[in-house]
Amino acid sequence: MNKTVEQIKEILETETKKALSTCTDQEIYLALLKMVEKESEARKTPVKGRKLYYISAEFLIGKLLSNNLINLGLYDPVKAVLEAAGKKMSDIEEVEPEPSLGNGGLGRLAACFLDSLATLNLPGDGVGLRYHYGLFHQSFQGGVQNELPDPWLSEHSWAEKTDTVYPVELAGRTYQARLYKLAVTGYEGRTNTLNLFDLDTIDETIVHDGILFDKTKIDKNLTLFLYPDDSDEAGRRLRIYQQYLMVSAGAQLILEESVARGCKLHDLADYAAIQINDTHPSMVIPELIRLLAKKGIKFKEAVKIVTDTCAYTNHTILAEALEKWPREYLDDVVPQLMPVIEELDQLARSRSKDEKLAIIDKDDRVHMAHMDIHFTHSTNGVAALHTEILKESELHGFYELYPEKFNNKTNGITFRRWLMECDPLLTEALEKWIGTGFKKDSNELEKLLAYENDEKVLEELTRIKKENKQALADWLWETQKVKISTDALYDIQSKRLHEYKRQQLNLLYLIHQYYEIKAGHLPAAPMVSIFGAKAAPAYIIAKDIIHALLTVSKVIAADPEVSRWLQVVFVENYNVTAAEKMIPACDLSEQISLASKEASGTGNMKFMLNGALTLGTMDGANVEISEQVGSDNIYIFGQTSDQVIHRYEAADYCAKQWYEGDPNIRRAVDFLIGDEMMNVGQKENLTRLHHELISKDWFQTLPDFNAYVVRKGQALADYAVNPVGWRKKCLVNIAKAGMFSSDRTIAQYNEEIWHLGK
């Protein structure tokens, strides 16, 4: 039964022991937190049959208060109670620190999956680490990224300390992994648990000069940061420490819970399904085998049990992101696992003579993904194109050996956070037009298509977008003292800064536009170009791209002739909270990775759902978005993945030829080292980026440049010349976003891989 306004008022006033109107925002926040905890506790139900453990080094959960209130059906009455007491929900939300326990898409996907599991009433818990500091806090100083720790833990936080500890042996010493439990509420569904492990001995005082710390003091630093910098050896070794703490404590928890539910270990797969989220948790395979063997199960049977229990998701084809640990590291940190890994390597070699499929290679590196594919029953990619590339090229040898293991699960996003919470205006309008069914059955969004030619509906969509732009503009003014026009097309590229995502292509476009405007070739409409992106602290070229964007932004802002038509804004510290403000305000969503490189993307889905049109390459889930909306409702450009793959195979790409052969490209690239930029920016960074683009350009920015400029110009023209037509396209995008609900994704995982009990 949902609580009434009066009941909520009473609960909060009993908790705070005061009239609400006299409480501070902090007091109200804490009282709400307690109320949510109690309410979610009541929705925990015993598990029958198979239960999922989604094990992941990242859970980018974002702020939880509003999300939990929505899921528990308490948001509207709480808002009413607060308003009656003269308080604003948005002020209370501000009190909560964001847990940024992930880098980007992979971690946010894990958070969306937890939401959908609980919403679909499926028993599925998360297993991860309780980092004291999530991803660093980014600020810009002197045009460069500065990194600071981003604390989220306070005395009262969502993750509750338990008395449960598990011993974990690391480099011959035993550590005690303490379990913290965070309630995961489902929308009108059950409550599951996110299990996070930590050590009691972590010492936050060892952090100095930004995010530096002594990487060797394991007892003090193990869970201090979301896996830290792996640019040096100590950082890489620390990652292994973290990963093993997570999987060993996780495996002990899984076995303990399963046994408590009647499991006899031989039948573990009937009680537990373990989803390995990328290779970070892969050591769970040998660890479980080791633990089962200790309990008397023979190696061969243990391998079978673990294979039947575990499944693996691949999230990237980028070779540099696939973990291959030097054997020496594992020998030092987890010597107890090496005999198991060696036996697994032998077993793998007995199944295939192909050296490329071995677990331990000739250079003594341990290929975590290979172990996953051999010793789990399912390997999935995260979008149709990505899975095809895995099968046909990257993992082709494995696909020939185990065709039955390969499957696709196109990613999804939770509509509770990425529509209901972040875009209440659109949600309310949708309720009015098509009812509330879309919240649990995302395909019902298609009902919106009936309004494609309804002027009133289209006008209201325009009005909502305008209000959301105003809200973003206000927020940018409050937080960064940046003023942006709301009478412009909002073009947004927000995601991690990585060369393959090609923020540098957008950068070259901005320079091109600068020249065009200066030459009197005015665009069809003014545009605000917005970026949000963090670069890994040791990723030099990524930081150079940030610097170049910040510098271009300054050059343009200082030129009134250009800035009337074009503004460039870089949002500081892009995180889930910022995304929730940016996405609803967007007109044009930039999804411009080099085809074949973006496994899926999930930002693309969030923008679409909030009525933005995609400007993108045929990469990742863009391909499926394009199929859903049809070519008239998306702006596709650039090389196809086949062309890209062939170009890599032929190794015949020469950036310099493109640069020398095209005056527009040359003009844009050379601007980086011209006077306008040098006067404002740093010579070292700009020169390095310029050199990178003409001498390497590994992600083939230049061949896609002209097509990108043309397509973006087309989008701007459509927006300006045919606003009704534009809004219709937006409507189709919203209506066709149903397949990108993580509820659909999770239902497929369950039907095809997990087969969970209820």
Out of 496, 543, 581, 728, the active site residue is: 496
259/280 Cα distance (integer angstroms): 26
601 binds ligand 26V (CB under 6 A): yes
Out of 43, 178, 315, 417, the active site residue is: 315
Residue 496 a catalytic site member:
yes
Out of 87, 108, 132, 501, the active site residue is: 501
Instruction: Provide the 3-class DSSP secondary structure of residue 348.
Output: helix
Q: Which of 197, 159, 191, 161 is nearest to 176 (CA)?
A: 197
624 binds ligand 26V (CB under 6 A): no
Q: Which is nearer to ligand 26V, 105 or 228 (CB)?
A: 105
User: Which window, 81-89, 203-211, 311-319, 704-712, contacts ligand 26V (CB under 6 A)?
Assistant: 311-319
Please report, for residues 435, 464, 637, the alpha-carbon distance to residue 425 in angstroms, rounded to integers and kept in the order given: 14, 6, 32
Q: Which two tokens stand for residue 106?
A: 């992979």
Residue 495 a catalytic site member:
yes
CA atoms within 13 Å, Cβ hemisphere of 265: 18
User: Which window, 48-56, 152-160, 173-181, 596-604, contacts ligand 26V (CB under 6 A)?
Assistant: 596-604
DSSP state of 98: P
Out of 602, 614, 701, 745, the active site residue is: 602
Q: Parallel, antiparallel, or unpaired for β 124-129 and 51-55?
A: parallel
Q: Which is nearer to ligand 26V, 286 or 537 (CB)?
A: 537
Applying the rule CB under 6 A, the residues between 273 and 292 that interact with ligand 26V are 278
84 binds ligand 26V (CB under 6 A): no
User: Which window, 104-112, 189-197, 258-266, 734-742, contacts ligand 26V (CB under 6 A)?
Assistant: 104-112
620 binds ligand 26V (CB under 6 A): yes
Residue of minimal Cβ distance to ligand 26V: 105
Cβ within 8 Å of residue 320, ≥6 positions away: none
Please report, for residues 135, 202, 365, the alpha-carbon distance to residue 131 in angstroms, rounded to integers and kept in the order given: 9, 10, 28
522 binds ligand 26V (CB under 6 A): no
Q: Give all strands (DSSP E) within 423-532, no chain letters.
A: 489-494, 527-532
Q: 480-506 burial by CB neighbour count: b if 16+ within 10 A, else e?
A: eebebebebbbbbbbbbbbbbbbbbbb
Residue 602 a catalytic site member:
yes
395 binds ligand 26V (CB under 6 A): no
Compute φ and ψ for 616, nearest 5 degrees. Answer: -155, 170
Query: CB of 626: closest distance to ligand 26V in angstroms?
Result: 16
321 binds ligand 26V (CB under 6 A): yes
Are the C-beta atoms of residues 152 and 98 closer than 8 Å to each other? yes
Query: CB of 376: closest distance to ligand 26V in angstroms?
Result: 17
Amino acid letter for position 51: K
- Locate tokens 């539910």: which residue? 261
733 binds ligand 26V (CB under 6 A): no
Please report, for residues 97, 204, 481, 572, 640, the alpha-carbon distance to residue 151 in angstroms, rounded to integers and kept in the order given: 8, 10, 24, 17, 42
744 binds ligand 26V (CB under 6 A): no
Are the C-beta atoms of residues 101 and 58 closer than 8 Å to each other? yes
Q: 300-326 burial by CB neighbour count: b if 16+ within 10 A, else e?
A: eebbbbbbbbbbbbbbbbeeeebbbbb
Residue 315 a catalytic site member:
yes
Q: Which is nearer to ligand 26V, 191 or 504 (CB)?
A: 504
- Locate tokens 């892009």: which residue? 574
578/585 Cα distance (integer angstroms): 11
User: Which window, 45-53, 85-93, 593-601, 721-729, contacts ligand 26V (CB under 6 A)?
Assistant: 593-601
Q: Which is nearer to ligand 26V, 427 or 600 (CB)?
A: 600
Q: Which two tokens stand for residue 68?
A: 């939990």
Residue 432 a catalytic site member:
no
Q: Helices marked H in 379-423 — which ranges?
A: 384-389, 396-401, 415
Q: Which is nearer to ligand 26V, 692 or 718 (CB)?
A: 692
Are the C-beta atoms of residues 745 and 411 closer than 8 Å to each other? yes
105 binds ligand 26V (CB under 6 A): yes
Binds ligand 26V (CB under 6 A): choice among 599, 623, 636, 672: 599
Q: Which is nearer to ligand 26V, 178 or 498 (CB)?
A: 498
Q: Which is nearer to ligand 26V, 719 or 749 (CB)?
A: 749
User: Which window, 19-27, 44-52, 310-318, 443-451, contacts ligand 26V (CB under 6 A)?
Assistant: 310-318
User: Which window, 62-70, 102-110, 198-206, 520-528, contacts ligand 26V (CB under 6 A)?
Assistant: 102-110
Query: CB of 109: closest distance to ligand 26V in angstroms?
Result: 4
Q: Give all strands (DSSP E) within 558-627, no chain letters.
A: 566-571, 588-591, 613-616
Binding letters toward ligand 26V, positions 363-392, x by CB under 6 A: -------------------x----------
Binds ligand 26V (CB under 6 A): choice among 600, 628, 685, 733: 600
Please report, for residues 306, 334, 341, 483, 605, the alpha-carbon distance to residue 338 in angstroms, rounded to integers and kept in the order given: 17, 7, 5, 57, 41
Binds ligand 26V (CB under 6 A): choice among 155, 320, 363, 649: 320
538 binds ligand 26V (CB under 6 A): no
Binds ligand 26V (CB under 6 A): choice among 138, 379, 411, 628: 411
Binds ligand 26V (CB under 6 A): choice among 109, 272, 484, 595: 109
User: Which window, 38-46, 76-84, 250-258, 316-324, contacts ligand 26V (CB under 6 A)?
Assistant: 316-324
> What is the rounded (10 degree) CA torsion for 393, 394, 400, 403?
-100
373/273 Cα distance (integer angstroms): 16
Applying the rule CB under 6 A, the residues between 468 and 487 that interact with ligand 26V are none
User: Which window, 69-77, 218-226, 315-323, 329-337, contacts ligand 26V (CB under 6 A)?
Assistant: 315-323
Out of 606, 688, 729, 744, the active site residue is: 606
Q: Which is nearer to ligand 26V, 40 or 316 (CB)?
A: 316
537 binds ligand 26V (CB under 6 A): no
Are the C-beta atoms of residues 162 and 225 closer than 8 Å to each other? no
Instruction: Provide the 3-class DSSP secondary structure of residue 126.
Output: strand
> What is the rounded (10 degree) CA torsion for 339, 343, 345, 349?
160
Binding interface with ligand 26V (CB under 6 A): 104-106, 109, 278, 315-316, 318, 320-321, 382, 411, 498, 598-602, 620
What positions carry a catalytic annotation?
A: 315, 495-496, 501, 602, 606
